[in-house]
Amino acid sequence: MKKKSLSTIYLTIVFLILYAPIFYLMYYSFNSGGKMYEFESFSLEWYKDLFQNTRLLIIVLNTIIIALLSSAISTILGTIGAVGIWHLKKRQTKNVLLSLNNILIVSPDVIIGASFLIMFTIVGIKLGFSSVLLSHIAFSVPIVVIMVLPKLQEMSSTLIDAAKDLGASNFNVLTKVILPYITPGIFAGFFMALTYSLDDFAVTFFVTGNGFSTLSVEIYSMARQGVSLTINALSTILFLFTILLVIGYYFISKRNGRIIGLGARK
Protein backbone atom coordinates (compact mmCIF):
# COMPACT_ATOMS: atom_id res chain seq x y z
CA MET A 1 0.00 0.00 0.00
CA LYS A 2 2.83 2.33 0.90
CA LYS A 3 4.51 1.63 -2.41
CA LYS A 4 1.37 2.60 -4.26
CA SER A 5 1.08 5.99 -2.61
CA LEU A 6 4.77 6.69 -3.29
CA SER A 7 4.28 6.10 -7.00
CA THR A 8 1.18 8.30 -7.00
CA ILE A 9 3.21 11.08 -5.40
CA TYR A 10 5.96 10.71 -7.99
CA LEU A 11 3.53 10.85 -10.89
CA THR A 12 1.74 13.80 -9.38
CA ILE A 13 4.99 15.72 -9.09
CA VAL A 14 5.89 14.99 -12.71
CA PHE A 15 2.48 16.13 -13.86
CA LEU A 16 2.63 19.24 -11.72
CA ILE A 17 5.97 20.25 -13.14
CA LEU A 18 4.82 19.51 -16.68
CA TYR A 19 1.77 21.70 -16.41
CA ALA A 20 2.97 24.38 -14.00
CA PRO A 21 4.58 26.66 -16.62
CA ILE A 22 1.50 26.59 -18.81
CA PHE A 23 -0.88 27.48 -16.01
CA TYR A 24 1.60 30.01 -14.68
CA LEU A 25 1.37 31.82 -18.01
CA MET A 26 -2.41 31.60 -18.07
CA TYR A 27 -2.76 32.82 -14.50
CA TYR A 28 -0.74 35.97 -15.04
CA SER A 29 -2.49 36.77 -18.29
CA PHE A 30 -5.30 38.06 -16.07
CA ASN A 31 -2.99 40.25 -14.00
CA SER A 32 -3.73 43.94 -14.21
CA GLY A 33 -0.19 44.78 -13.15
CA GLY A 34 2.20 44.42 -16.06
CA LYS A 35 4.50 41.80 -14.57
CA MET A 36 4.69 38.05 -14.14
CA TYR A 37 4.71 38.37 -10.35
CA GLU A 38 2.60 40.10 -7.71
CA PHE A 39 -0.86 39.42 -8.97
CA GLU A 40 -2.73 42.70 -8.52
CA SER A 41 -6.26 42.22 -9.68
CA PHE A 42 -8.25 40.40 -12.27
CA SER A 43 -8.45 42.13 -15.61
CA LEU A 44 -8.92 41.35 -19.26
CA GLU A 45 -6.91 44.29 -20.50
CA TRP A 46 -4.19 42.12 -22.03
CA TYR A 47 -6.78 40.30 -24.08
CA LYS A 48 -8.12 43.65 -25.24
CA ASP A 49 -4.59 44.66 -26.06
CA LEU A 50 -4.08 41.48 -28.02
CA PHE A 51 -7.15 41.96 -30.16
CA GLN A 52 -6.26 45.56 -30.89
CA ASN A 53 -2.75 44.66 -31.94
CA THR A 54 -3.33 44.29 -35.67
CA ARG A 55 0.31 43.48 -36.39
CA LEU A 56 0.18 40.50 -34.07
CA LEU A 57 -3.15 39.37 -35.48
CA ILE A 58 -1.76 39.48 -39.01
CA ILE A 59 1.15 37.35 -37.82
CA VAL A 60 -1.25 34.85 -36.29
CA LEU A 61 -3.12 34.75 -39.58
CA ASN A 62 0.15 34.25 -41.49
CA THR A 63 1.09 31.37 -39.21
CA ILE A 64 -2.25 29.67 -39.72
CA ILE A 65 -2.17 30.16 -43.48
CA ILE A 66 1.37 28.78 -43.69
CA ALA A 67 0.44 25.82 -41.50
CA LEU A 68 -2.70 24.93 -43.42
CA LEU A 69 -1.17 25.40 -46.87
CA SER A 70 2.06 23.59 -46.11
CA SER A 71 0.38 20.66 -44.42
CA ALA A 72 -2.18 20.31 -47.22
CA ILE A 73 0.49 20.36 -49.92
CA SER A 74 2.83 18.09 -48.01
CA THR A 75 0.01 15.65 -47.31
CA ILE A 76 -0.57 15.32 -51.05
CA LEU A 77 3.15 15.04 -51.84
CA GLY A 78 3.80 12.72 -48.92
CA THR A 79 0.95 10.39 -49.83
CA ILE A 80 2.17 10.19 -53.42
CA GLY A 81 5.67 9.54 -52.10
CA ALA A 82 4.49 6.84 -49.72
CA VAL A 83 2.50 5.08 -52.45
CA GLY A 84 5.55 5.35 -54.69
CA ILE A 85 7.90 3.86 -52.08
CA TRP A 86 5.40 1.13 -51.30
CA HIS A 87 5.00 0.32 -54.99
CA LEU A 88 8.75 -0.13 -55.53
CA LYS A 89 9.68 -3.71 -56.32
CA LYS A 90 13.35 -3.51 -55.38
CA ARG A 91 13.94 -3.95 -51.68
CA GLN A 92 17.21 -2.10 -51.70
CA THR A 93 15.96 1.13 -53.27
CA LYS A 94 13.07 1.02 -50.85
CA ASN A 95 15.40 0.81 -47.87
CA VAL A 96 17.65 3.58 -49.17
CA LEU A 97 14.68 5.87 -49.67
CA LEU A 98 13.30 5.02 -46.25
CA SER A 99 16.55 5.72 -44.45
CA LEU A 100 16.93 9.01 -46.34
CA ASN A 101 13.43 9.84 -45.17
CA ASN A 102 14.40 9.01 -41.59
CA ILE A 103 17.52 11.14 -41.76
CA LEU A 104 15.40 14.10 -42.83
CA ILE A 105 13.11 13.56 -39.87
CA VAL A 106 15.89 13.27 -37.33
CA SER A 107 18.16 15.98 -38.66
CA PRO A 108 18.24 19.05 -36.44
CA ASP A 109 16.25 22.09 -37.46
CA VAL A 110 19.31 24.25 -37.50
CA ILE A 111 20.68 22.18 -40.35
CA ILE A 112 17.45 22.18 -42.31
CA GLY A 113 17.14 25.92 -41.78
CA ALA A 114 20.72 26.68 -42.76
CA SER A 115 20.65 24.49 -45.84
CA PHE A 116 17.41 26.01 -47.05
CA LEU A 117 18.80 29.47 -46.49
CA ILE A 118 21.72 28.58 -48.75
CA MET A 119 19.47 27.03 -51.36
CA PHE A 120 17.02 29.91 -51.50
CA THR A 121 19.85 32.37 -51.88
CA ILE A 122 21.40 30.40 -54.72
CA VAL A 123 18.14 29.82 -56.55
CA GLY A 124 17.16 33.42 -55.92
CA ILE A 125 13.90 32.98 -54.07
CA LYS A 126 13.16 36.05 -52.02
CA LEU A 127 13.03 35.36 -48.31
CA GLY A 128 9.51 35.77 -47.01
CA PHE A 129 6.21 34.00 -47.42
CA SER A 130 7.24 31.64 -50.22
CA SER A 131 10.53 30.59 -48.65
CA VAL A 132 8.88 29.83 -45.33
CA LEU A 133 6.11 27.91 -47.08
CA LEU A 134 8.57 25.86 -49.15
CA SER A 135 10.72 24.92 -46.19
CA HIS A 136 7.70 23.96 -44.12
CA ILE A 137 6.51 21.70 -46.93
CA ALA A 138 9.98 20.21 -47.11
CA PHE A 139 10.14 19.19 -43.48
CA SER A 140 6.52 18.00 -43.39
CA VAL A 141 6.67 15.61 -46.34
CA PRO A 142 8.86 12.99 -44.59
CA ILE A 143 6.50 13.07 -41.61
CA VAL A 144 3.48 12.38 -43.80
CA VAL A 145 5.36 9.55 -45.53
CA ILE A 146 6.12 7.96 -42.15
CA MET A 147 2.48 8.19 -41.13
CA VAL A 148 0.99 6.85 -44.36
CA LEU A 149 3.44 4.02 -45.08
CA PRO A 150 2.45 1.70 -42.20
CA LYS A 151 -1.16 1.81 -43.39
CA LEU A 152 -0.08 0.81 -46.88
CA GLN A 153 2.03 -2.00 -45.53
CA GLU A 154 -0.74 -3.47 -43.44
CA MET A 155 -3.10 -3.48 -46.42
CA SER A 156 -3.48 -6.99 -47.75
CA SER A 157 -2.40 -7.44 -51.35
CA THR A 158 -5.39 -9.68 -52.03
CA LEU A 159 -7.57 -6.57 -51.91
CA ILE A 160 -5.80 -5.17 -54.94
CA ASP A 161 -5.76 -8.49 -56.73
CA ALA A 162 -9.47 -8.83 -56.19
CA ALA A 163 -10.11 -5.35 -57.57
CA LYS A 164 -7.97 -6.09 -60.63
CA ASP A 165 -9.68 -9.42 -61.23
CA LEU A 166 -13.00 -7.66 -61.18
CA GLY A 167 -11.75 -5.46 -63.98
CA ALA A 168 -10.70 -2.26 -62.20
CA SER A 169 -8.16 -0.09 -63.96
CA ASN A 170 -5.00 1.02 -62.17
CA PHE A 171 -6.55 4.41 -61.58
CA ASN A 172 -9.67 2.83 -60.13
CA VAL A 173 -7.60 0.64 -57.85
CA LEU A 174 -5.85 3.70 -56.53
CA THR A 175 -8.91 5.86 -55.96
CA LYS A 176 -11.46 3.22 -54.99
CA VAL A 177 -9.34 0.77 -53.01
CA ILE A 178 -6.00 2.14 -51.85
CA LEU A 179 -6.92 5.71 -50.96
CA PRO A 180 -10.00 4.89 -48.87
CA TYR A 181 -8.00 2.28 -47.01
CA ILE A 182 -5.16 4.63 -46.05
CA THR A 183 -7.34 7.65 -45.28
CA PRO A 184 -6.81 7.44 -41.49
CA GLY A 185 -3.04 7.50 -42.07
CA ILE A 186 -3.40 10.49 -44.36
CA PHE A 187 -5.41 12.37 -41.75
CA ALA A 188 -2.89 11.55 -39.04
CA GLY A 189 -0.12 12.78 -41.33
CA PHE A 190 -1.98 16.00 -42.01
CA PHE A 191 -2.48 16.68 -38.31
CA MET A 192 1.13 15.90 -37.56
CA ALA A 193 2.33 18.23 -40.31
CA LEU A 194 -0.04 20.90 -39.04
CA THR A 195 1.29 20.77 -35.49
CA TYR A 196 4.90 20.69 -36.64
CA SER A 197 4.34 23.68 -38.83
CA LEU A 198 2.53 25.65 -36.12
CA ASP A 199 5.26 24.78 -33.66
CA ASP A 200 8.27 25.34 -35.82
CA PHE A 201 10.68 28.01 -34.77
CA ALA A 202 14.21 27.19 -35.87
CA VAL A 203 13.61 26.57 -39.56
CA THR A 204 11.38 29.60 -39.93
CA PHE A 205 13.87 31.72 -38.05
CA PHE A 206 16.49 30.98 -40.69
CA VAL A 207 14.47 31.47 -43.83
CA THR A 208 12.22 34.33 -42.87
CA GLY A 209 13.37 37.66 -44.15
CA ASN A 210 12.50 41.11 -42.95
CA GLY A 211 8.84 41.96 -42.89
CA PHE A 212 7.46 38.45 -42.71
CA SER A 213 7.25 36.58 -39.47
CA THR A 214 5.37 33.73 -37.87
CA LEU A 215 4.15 33.45 -34.34
CA SER A 216 7.13 31.53 -32.96
CA VAL A 217 9.63 33.99 -34.38
CA GLU A 218 7.57 36.90 -33.11
CA ILE A 219 7.30 35.44 -29.61
CA TYR A 220 11.05 34.90 -29.63
CA SER A 221 11.81 38.50 -30.44
CA MET A 222 9.18 39.73 -27.97
CA ALA A 223 10.54 37.46 -25.23
CA ARG A 224 14.07 38.71 -25.81
CA GLN A 225 12.88 42.19 -25.00
CA GLY A 226 11.46 41.04 -21.69
CA VAL A 227 8.13 40.17 -20.21
CA SER A 228 4.95 41.36 -21.87
CA LEU A 229 1.65 40.04 -20.68
CA THR A 230 0.20 40.20 -24.18
CA ILE A 231 2.21 37.05 -24.81
CA ASN A 232 0.51 35.46 -21.82
CA ALA A 233 -2.91 36.30 -23.16
CA LEU A 234 -1.91 34.93 -26.53
CA SER A 235 -0.59 31.74 -25.00
CA THR A 236 -3.82 31.13 -23.12
CA ILE A 237 -5.74 31.29 -26.36
CA LEU A 238 -3.18 29.10 -28.11
CA PHE A 239 -3.37 26.55 -25.32
CA LEU A 240 -7.12 26.23 -25.71
CA PHE A 241 -6.69 25.95 -29.46
CA THR A 242 -4.06 23.22 -29.02
CA ILE A 243 -6.37 21.26 -26.77
CA LEU A 244 -9.00 21.38 -29.49
CA LEU A 245 -6.45 20.10 -32.00
CA VAL A 246 -5.37 17.31 -29.67
CA ILE A 247 -8.95 16.22 -29.11
CA GLY A 248 -9.39 16.06 -32.88
CA TYR A 249 -6.18 14.11 -33.25
CA TYR A 250 -7.15 11.81 -30.40
CA PHE A 251 -10.37 10.79 -32.06
CA ILE A 252 -8.65 10.17 -35.36
CA SER A 253 -6.01 7.98 -33.76
CA LYS A 254 -8.70 6.25 -31.73
CA ARG A 255 -10.21 5.18 -35.02
CA ASN A 256 -6.76 4.09 -36.04
CA GLY A 257 -6.56 1.94 -32.98
CA ARG A 258 -3.49 3.45 -31.37
CA ILE A 259 -1.81 6.71 -30.58
CA ILE A 260 0.90 7.31 -33.10
CA GLY A 261 4.22 8.47 -31.74
CA LEU A 262 5.65 11.91 -31.99
CA GLY A 263 8.92 12.83 -33.53
CA ALA A 264 11.54 14.98 -31.92
CA ARG A 265 11.52 18.10 -33.96
CA LYS A 266 12.27 21.13 -31.92
Partner 1 sequence: MIMPILLIVYYSFLDIHGNFTLANYQKFFTPVYLKMTLSSFWYALLITAVSLLVAYPTAFLLTRTKYKQLWLLLIILPSWINLLLKAYSFIGIFGTYGFANALLEVFGIGKKQILFTDFSFIFVSVYIFIPFMILPIFNALDKLNPSFIDASRDLGASGWTTFRRVIFPLTFDGVKSGCQVVFIPALSLFMLTRLIAGNRVITLGTAVEQHFLVTQDWGMGSTIAVFLIISMVIIMLLTGNKKRGGVG
Residues between 188 and 227 that touch partner 1 (CB under 8 A): 195, 198-199, 201-202, 205-206, 215-216, 219-220, 223-224, 227
Looking at the Cβ atoms of 88 and 98, the one nearer to partner 1 is 98
Q: Residues 12 to 31: which contact partner 1 by CB under 8 A?
A: 14-15, 17-22, 24-25, 28
Looking at the Cβ atoms of 30 and 163, the one nearer to partner 1 is 30
Beta bridge partners of 42: 31
Which are the contacts of 186, defined by CB distance < 8 A and separation ≥ 6? 75, 79, 144, 147, 148, 179
Q: Residues 88 to 117: which contact partner 1 by CB under 8 A?
A: 98, 100-112, 114-117
DSSP structural state of residue 33: S
Gap between the Cα atoms of 109 and 105, Å rounded: 9
Name the minimum Å distance from CB 164 to partner 1: 28
User: 101 and 146 in contact (C-beta within 8 Å)?
Assistant: yes
Looking at the Cβ atoms of 162 and 259, the one nearer to partner 1 is 259
Listed residue (75, 209, 62) closest to 131, CA to CA: 209
Beta bridge partners of 31: 42
Looking at the Cβ atoms of 53 and 242, the one nearer to partner 1 is 242
Name the minimum Å distance from CB 169 to partner 1: 31
Q: Residues 28 to 87: which contact partner 1 by CB under 8 A?
A: 28, 35-38
Gap between the Cα atoms of 187 and 191, Å rounded: 6
